[in-house]
C-alpha cells in the first residue's frame, strides 16, 4: 500500500455504487476518503474538516457539483482545495463550464482507476508546489527581515560610533553586525538546499558514513568551539544508501541543534544501527539537554508549507529540510525525548537502493 499520510479526499457522488468504488480505490492506495451523497453534505463536511482534494459529480440532488464548486470558491478557507469533476456529461460545454468555475480537472464517466489516480496525484503535486511557493515567499519575507533589520540597525550604530571615535562600541557593534550577517547567510543557504531538494533528481548510492559525519562536524566547528560542546562519534556505521551531500545536510542540522539546545557544554553522541527488519538503518544524534515534551515534539519536522504558522524554537526551517531530504531518499526522520533526559533526533535510510548500486560516496574534506 502506498503511503499518503495526511491526505484526505472528499468524494461527492449520489450514485452509491460509484461512490463506494471511488472510496475503495482511494483507500486501497493509501488515501483517507470521506464520502458525501450530494453537494450539501460535501460542503458541510469540507467546512468541518477541510480536505486535501475533492472529487465531485455534477448531477446530484440539492446542491449540484457546479454549485459546490461555487460555494467552495466563495469560502476563503476552502477556495484553494483542488476539485476534480467526475461526470457522465461528456460534452465540451459541460467541461468548459466546470473549468471556468474553478475545477482543476474534468473526467468523464465511465472512468478507469488509472485515470482517477493519475488525476488525483497530478492535482496534489500541483497544490504542493503552490503551497510551497507561498510558504517560501512568506519565509523569505519573515525570516530574512529580522536579521536584515538587525544588521541595518548595527550599521547605523557603527556609523554613529565612528563619528564619536568610540572604539569599544565600534568593536561590539561590528561583532553584532557580523552575527546578523551570518544568520542571513545561513537562512539563504537553507532555502537554497530546500529548493535543490525539491527540483534535483538523484540516485541513492551506498554511503560511507564516517567521512560524511566528519564533513558535517567540520562545517560547524566554530559553533562547537563557541559553545564548548563535545561530540562522540561511533567507531562503526551500518550500511545505508542515499545521496551524500543531502545526508551531510541532515547531520549538520541535527548537530547544530544539539550544540545550541543541548545545554551548557553539551555532550553529544552519534550512532547508528540496522533496524530489526533489515531493510533500513537508523542514525541518531543524542544530547543530554533539557529534552522535549510531547507538545514540543509535535511541532518538530513540520512540512515547509507550515513553517509560517508553526515555529519550534528555531528548529523549524532546518528540520523541515531534514524531513524533505529523508522522504526524498525513501526514509523517515523523527525525535525521541522525555523532559529532563535529553533528546535523540534520528533519521532512517534504506539499506539497499531501488535502482543500481555504485561506489560509496566519500565527501572531500578540506585539510
- How high is the pLDDT of residue 198? 63
E-strand ranges in the chain read: 8-12, 32-36, 53-56, 83-87, 105-108, 205-206, 230-232, 241-242, 267-274, 280-286, 332-337, 343-350
Provide the pLDDT for residue 361.
Answer: 41
Q: Assess contact for 40 and 63: CB atoms under 8 A.
A: yes
Percent of the chain with pLDDT over 90: 42
Kindly tell me if the per-residue pLDDT of 36 is higher than 50: yes
Which of 335, 330, 331 has the alpha carbon at shortest distance from 318?
A: 335
Lowest-pLDDT choice from 51-60, 72-81, 333-342: 333-342
Q: Is the pLDDT of residue 197 over 70?
A: no
The predicted pLDDT at position 278 comes to: 92
360 DSSP assignment? P
pLDDT digits (tens, 9 = 90+) for 311-341: 344 434 678 788 888 888 999 998 888 888 8
Mean pLDDT, the chain, rounded, equals: 82
Average pLDDT for residues 81-86, to the nearest whole number?
93
pLDDT computed for residue 307 by the predictor: 38
pLDDT-derived band at 9, boundaries 50, 70, 90? very high
141 vs 290, higher pLDDT: 290
Local confidence band at 65 (pLDDT 50, 70, 90 cut-offs): very high
The C-alpha atoms of residue 333 and residue 335 are separated, in whole angstroms, by: 7
CA 238/CA 255 separation, integer angstroms: 19
Is residue 73 scored above 70 in pLDDT? yes
What pLDDT was estimated at residue 111?
87
Residue 269 has pLDDT above 60, yes or no: yes
- Across the range 131-149, mean pLDDT stands at 67
Query: At 166, is the pLDDT very low, low, confident or very high (cuts 50, 70, 90)?
Result: confident
pLDDT at 72: 94
The predicted pLDDT at position 293 comes to 79
Tell me the per-residue pLDDT of 122-131, one tens digit each, with 9 for 90 and over. 998 888 777 7
SS3 (DSSP) at 59 = coil
In the chain the domains, ranked by start, together with CATH numbers, are 8-111 (3.40.50.2300), 133-199 (1.10.287), 205-350 (3.30.565.10)
Average pLDDT over residues 43-68: 94
Amino acid at each position: 500500500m502506498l503511503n499518503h499520510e495526511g491526505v484526505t479526499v472528499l468524494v461527492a457522488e449520489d450514485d452509491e455504487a460509484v461512490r463506494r468504488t471511488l472510496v475503495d480505490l482511494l483507500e486501497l492506495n493509501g488515501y483517507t476518503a470521506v464520502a458525501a451523497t450530494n453537494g450539501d453534505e460535501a460542503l458541510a463536511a469540507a467546512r468541518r474538516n477541510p480536505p486535501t482534494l475533492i472529487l465531485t459529480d455534477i448531477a446530484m440532488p440539492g446542491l449540484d457539483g457546479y454549485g459546490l464548486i461555487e460555494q467552495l470558491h466563495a469560502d476563503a478557507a476552502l477556495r484553494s482545495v483542488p476539485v476534480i469533476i467526475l461526470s457522465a456529461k461528456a460534452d465540451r460545454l459541460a467541461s468548459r463550464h466546470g473549468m471556468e468555475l474553478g475545477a482543476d480537472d474534468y473526467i468523464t464517466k465511465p472512468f478507469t482507476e488509472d485515470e482517477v489516480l493519475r488525476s488525483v496525484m497530478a492535482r496534489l503535486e500541483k497544490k504542493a508546489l503552490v503551497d510551497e511557493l507561498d510558504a517560501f515567499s512568506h519565509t523569505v519575507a519573515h525570516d530574512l527581515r529580522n536579521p536584515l533589520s538587525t544588521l541595518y540597525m548595527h550599521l547605523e550604530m557603527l556609523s554613529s560610533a565612528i563619528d564619536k571615535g568610540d572604539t569599544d562600541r565600534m568593536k561590539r557593534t561590528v561583532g553584532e553586525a557580523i552575527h546578523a550577517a551570518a544568520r542571513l547567510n545561513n537562512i539563504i543557504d537553507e532555502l537554497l538546499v530546500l529548493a535543490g531538494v525539491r527540483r534535483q533528481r538523484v540516485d541513492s548510492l551506498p554511503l560511507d558514513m564516517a567521512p560524511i559525519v566528519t564533513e558535517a562536524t567540520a562545517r560547524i566547528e566554530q559553533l562547537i568551539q563557541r559553545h564548548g560542546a563535545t561530540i562522540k562519534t561511533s567507531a562503526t556505521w551500518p550500511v545505508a544508501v542515499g545521496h551524500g551531500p543531502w545526508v551531510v545536510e541532515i547531520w549538520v542540522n541535527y548537530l547544530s541543534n544539539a550544540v545550541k539546545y543541548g545545554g551548557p557544554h553539551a555532550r553529544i553522541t552519534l550512532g547508528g544501527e540496522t533496524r530489526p527488519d533489515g531493510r533500513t538503518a537508523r542514525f541518531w544524534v543524542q544530547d543530554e539537554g533539557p529534552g522535549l515534551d510531547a507538545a514540543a515534539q509535535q511541532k518538530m519536522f513540520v512540512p515547509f508549507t507550515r513553517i509560517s504558522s508553526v515555529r519550534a524554537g528555531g528548529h523549524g526551517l532546518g528540520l523541515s529540510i531534514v524531513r524533505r531530504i529523508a522522504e526524498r531518499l525513501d526514509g523517515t526522520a523523527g525525535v525521541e525525548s522525555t523532559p529532563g533526559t535529553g533528546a535523540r533526533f534520528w533519521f532512517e535510510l534504506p539499506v539497499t537502493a531501488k535502482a543500481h548500486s555504485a561506489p560509496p560516496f566519500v565527501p572531500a574534506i578540506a585539510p
